[in-house]
Chain A
């Protein structure tokens, strides 16, 4: 499990989000909060609604009901979300004919990103060797790390990333997880959708358990274990199984 810091400043509150695709209810009355500087893991099995939730959270997909409130409790409009959140979808390969170096420069320049952190991000995500490679020619893991670098360069205080460890090998997962922890320690808030529970347990401070489009639990492992009625459970997987 990641840190056990006390995180109390609420920077986002998701209230009663719902989304249907025809007859399928992808999200049903989803509510949870995000605290400043934490790594929040949205975990759940395939089809739980994680990606839909992140898209509704970021505003790239219109929700049918509910709202996303800022730290002051007022609902965020699209401009407010743009100022606060940066969303990295899963399985994207942006600007495939451009090099990683150029994509990072573009992210820092056009997005008005954290150019001063670029060298650290390149080092943390081990991108030096592929900087002059075209994004379209990268392996899945290399592409994932490059896209993650773009997200880390983005200026918004909250980074929302869909499956940040998908396609990474064990060592890369560990290194990327450590890099994300360092960003959180520096004050960045991270909301990560992760379907591998072991990865989530290693990186995240708190969790939102999602199953069938519903929130089954929210909190640290201890809090979730208590909610599950099994105080002895210290393993996120056991807690998840108990609650879903």
Chain B
């Protein structure tokens, strides 16, 4: 008999259990067609856009192909992955395997971590459908900017890791898998409600919404990596693993588990608040979609005095959302900025006639300026004028796009036939091999 370390035994055991899990095979089988639908639609839309010779920034594979194609994994992460993770823990608990395994002295958090890593490994296999899409795109002659593609992939992998950790914590805390599934879905719906409240009410909800899974994924799908968001995801995942460990440890009274859980949650909340203040981001997009022009960034960085911006737009005014996610987000990446929003109502419908509604007012030192446009150029121009800074001459070559008008040849056969058939065949082979 082979001699392995306890951790390796657990990895082997978890892997064998994953291969025997119908939930995992269903996820893998479903991933192909879901990615296939997203990819073929994206290629068709991209072909339509590419017909315009001046498509420019719109003809970016990041936004045109990778974001929609890999968004398929957002669906898989919401509707399939949590159940694979829940099954991996509750299956052991219901069968009595966990009671036996926990009688081997081994850190419980390490045990949950191994379980999570193996499920993540299983997710990576489902992720192969995305790799097939990349290979197909390359075979069509489509351009690939590696950094932005890697960022998109990392975003989805991190989202999967976070989903797995939270699902494991919920599975550990609940008595039955169906309860765990209901709670997991409730949390997902809760994050959707935060997104909705952010769109309607703005303010604190909007701040909160920047940390929901959909915002998290959206950031990576735009080729942006923000240090604080990544750290917060890591903190939440670690806290979830610690909570899961607290709840599967045998012989601990429920009261103590609850106290430990509250302790981990509070520690995580403090860490999240601290992490939120950490600056730093990386725009990996080929089009620099998350950034001002380099010369503008340099000029803005040279402004010595603090910048204050007053936005006279209501939370539900679409211009406010566009301004916040566009120029304001780019400005925040360049330097700290003090922003305040002014409005009488949530919708702004009855403020349109108010004097000053719709204005963006900038202040640098004692000097002020105003613009009503919500574009990058308008904001930068206003601020530089107010600060009295002149940008350097134009240096960058404008992005001309990577237009490609092709049909997604081979994709339907690969994603809708070969992937499911090959997957089903491997499932059958695997189940026979294990017996």
Contact = CB atoms under 8 A, between A and B. Distances in A.
Contact of A110 (B6, B20, B252, B435): B6
A95 B103 contact: no
Interface in B299-323: none
B105 A108 contact: no
B10 A93 contact: no
B119 to A, nearest CB: 16
B105 A95 contact: no
Interface stretch (A5-13, A82-90, A184-192, A207-215): A82-90
A95 B435 contact: no
Interface in B175-218: none
Contacts, number: 85
Contacts of B96: 89, 91-94, 147
A94 B4 contact: no
Contacts of B17: 95, 97-98
Interface in A141-185: 147, 150, 154, 156
A98 B20 contact: yes
B4 A109 contact: yes
Contacts of A58: 103, 251
A112 interface: yes
A98 B101 CA distance: 15
A196 interface: no
Interface string A98-123: 11001001111111100100100000
A94 B102 CA distance: 12
Nearest to A78: B251
A15 interface: no
Interface residues of B, number: 28
Nearest to B7: A110
A190 B40 CA distance: 64
Contacts of A132: 435
* Interface magnitude class on chain A: 35 or more
A241 interface: no
Given A79-B105, A83-B105, A110 B99 contact: no
B395 interface: no
B84 to A, nearest CB: 15
B252 A62 contact: yes
A111 B101 CA distance: 7
Contacts of B105: 79, 82-83
Contact of B251 (A61, A108, A150): A61
B1 interface: yes
Nearest to B98: A94
B251 A59 contact: yes
Given A62-B252, A108-B1, A132-B435, A154 B99 contact: no
B1 A111 contact: no
Nearest to A132: B435
Interface string B74-113: 0000000000000000001001110111111100000000
Given A61-B250, A112-B6, 9 more contacts: A62-B251, A92-B99, A94-B96, A96-B95, A105-B1, A106-B13, A110-B13, A147-B96, A150-B100
9 contacts: A58-B103, A62-B252, A78-B251, A79-B105, A93-B95, A94-B92, A98-B16, A102-B16, A109-B3
What 10 A-B pairs are tightest by C-beta distance, nearest first?
A: A92-B96, A97-B20, A94-B97, A110-B9, A59-B251, A60-B250, A62-B253, A94-B96, A111-B104, A82-B105
